Each structure stands twice: as C-alpha cells, then as structure tokens.
Amino acid sequence: MRHSFRRDMIIGAIAVTALVLLPLVWPNKAFIDFTIRGASFALFATSLNLLVGYGGMVSFGHGMFFGLGAYSFGLLMQRTGMSIPAAFALTIVVTAAVALAVGAICVRLKEIYFAFLTLAFQMFLYSLVILWVPLTGGDQGLRGGIPRPSFLGIDLADQRQLYIASCVLLVGGLILMHHIVESPFGYTLRMIRDNATRAAFLGVEVFRIKLVAFVLAGIFGGIGGVIMSLFVSGAYPEFANWTMSGEAVFIVMLGGISTFFGPVVGTVILLLLNDVVTRFTEYYGLTLGAIILLFALGLRRGLTDFLLDYWRRSPWVLAAAKRGR
C-alpha cells in the first residue's frame, strides 16, 4: 500500500509538472479556463463515483456538497476576511459536518429511497439559498465578488496562478481518492456494494463504512465547489440545484463507473460537447441530450467501461491469459 501511494505521488508530480508547463508552450486563455472548470467538475464527478461506482449508492443530490462548498467558502471570504487556506480548511469542516448529518439519515436507506432522500436534502439546501436573501443573495447569488488576498506569495486573483492551484487540487484530490478506493476500506466498500448482507454477516459495520464513504464524497465534492467559486468569483443558486447533480450523474455515466478515471474522461467529453454545441446552436439542451442519448445507446455503458471491456476481450489479452494458465 505504501509503495502504491508513493507511485501515485510520483505520477501525480509528473502530471502537475506537465500541466503547469503546458500553458508556457501553448499560451491559450481558453485552455486555462477550460482546465479550471474541468478540475472543478472532475473532482465533483469522481467524488460522486465513490458512492455510485464503489459503494453502489446512487445519489441524486450530490450537488448539495458542490453548492455548499462554493457558498461556504464565498461567505467565509466575504464576511470574515480570513485567509484563503483558513477559509478552505473551514469549508472542508463545514462540508464534512453537513455530510455526516445528512449521511447518518440517508445511508440507512436502500436504492431508490436513498437516491430520492439525497435529492430532497439538496432541494432543501437550494430553497435555503433562494430564500435566505440577506446571507446568500437569493437568486442573484453572492454579489460583489470573492476577495482573493495573496498568501505565501500566491495570488489566486491571477488566472494563471489559479490554474496552477486548480491543477494541484485536482491531482492531489485524485491521488487521495485513488488511495482510498485501493485501500482495505475501498475493498470493504466494494464488498458492501456487491452483497451488504454477506458483508454484515462477516462482521463488517455496513452503516459506518457507508457513512464514511458518504462524508468523504461530500468533502471532495465541496472542494470542487471551492474551485468553481474561485473561478467565477462568486456562488450562484445553480451550484446547489438538482441540475448540478444531474450533470455529475451524466458525467459518471458518460465516462464510466467501473474505472477510476472514468469521471475525469466524462468531464472532458461533457465540457467539450458543451463548448462546441453552444457555438453552433441555441438549442443546447436538445442537441446535447441527443448526442448523449446516441452515445449511451451506441456503447450501452461509459466510454472507459467500453474500452476496458474491449481490451479484456481482445484476442491477444485472451491468448496471454491462456498462456498464464
């Protein structure tokens, strides 16, 4: 396990270095903006896949943590004047506390009941955002921008430095989540997904494991919201609406649920489709929905799930497996 984590850290360091150097070779502002948005949504979608792909818990309300992260961080920066690292750390605490309270109720339920109860909690948060105008700004969102004071020589008001910070958060978050799913905890979570009754019979505390997974997913989803709030210098009700959860589910289904990097691939596909479709037609929802429908009907699974299955069924892999026997 320690060797695997060290390997992930080395790969992560290489990935961050490559991402940091890329704008020097290709100084494109659109690429920088795309990557920051991609980092936000990739963390958000991958955190949802901790529940869906590894825990078998389909959440229709995961967007509540994206919105909670964005609003908590924005309000802390606007109202308290604290440093960005302090606000970031406190946002994680707030998100974890809310996830713990919500999860303690939701994870007791199964399948569709779990899914719709998480959606109910998200709609409660969305209503709170809309109605608590003095605090949240209502349907106008947090107005006046988010202060981004420099710390340790880092100025996140500079888009290039925000890009680097987003890349570090993305790679760091992915490394941590990968370590979680490859740990004994991750394999226990898979056991519960496959057969919770058998896991309980073997002595696994099913409720506790599922609750920890729910809290971890909420924390990483909230970090995605923090990145987005820094990118747009604000927080808006759409971040906490059910449509945000829908986008995360789309991303996970598009990229694949059985591979760790499936949601990252799904994020890139969805954002590219979004940017391309909006350039050529005003019927964004209809066109994008048709493309995703054709994609789903053609592959009948996420892209990485399809490619992994194709690889496993390829003649040379099957021949190698026979030789191994």
Please give the backbone phi and psi of residue 151, each rounded to the nearest 5 degrees, phi first. -150, 135
40 within 8 A of 167, measured Cβ to Cβ: no
**Which pLDDT score is estimated for 286?**
79
- Give the SS3 label for residue 217: helix
66 pLDDT exceeds 80? yes
pLDDT bucket at 315, cuts 50 / 70 / 90: low
Average pLDDT over residues 18-40: 90
284 pLDDT exceeds 80? no
**Which pLDDT score is estimated for 311?**
74
User: For the chain, what is the mean pLDDT?
Assistant: 89
320 pLDDT exceeds 60? no
**Which pLDDT score is estimated for 254?**
87
**Which pLDDT score is estimated for 9?**
86
**Which pLDDT score is estimated for 240?**
93
**Which pLDDT score is estimated for 50?**
95
Count of other CB atoms within 10 angstroms of residue 9? 14
pLDDT tens digits for range 98-147: 999 999 999 998 888 999 999 999 999 999 999 999 999 888 988 888 98
**Which pLDDT score is estimated for 319?**
58
5 pLDDT exceeds 60? yes
The answer to whether the predicted template modeling score (pTM) of the entire model surpasses 0.95 is no
127 contact partners, CB below 8 Å, separation of at least 6 = none
Please give the backbone phi and psi of residue 55, each rounded to the nearest 5 degrees, phi first. -110, -10
Q: What is d(CA 81, CA 71) in angstroms, rounded to the nearest whole number?
A: 15
Closest CA to 109 of 56, 148, 66, 70: 56
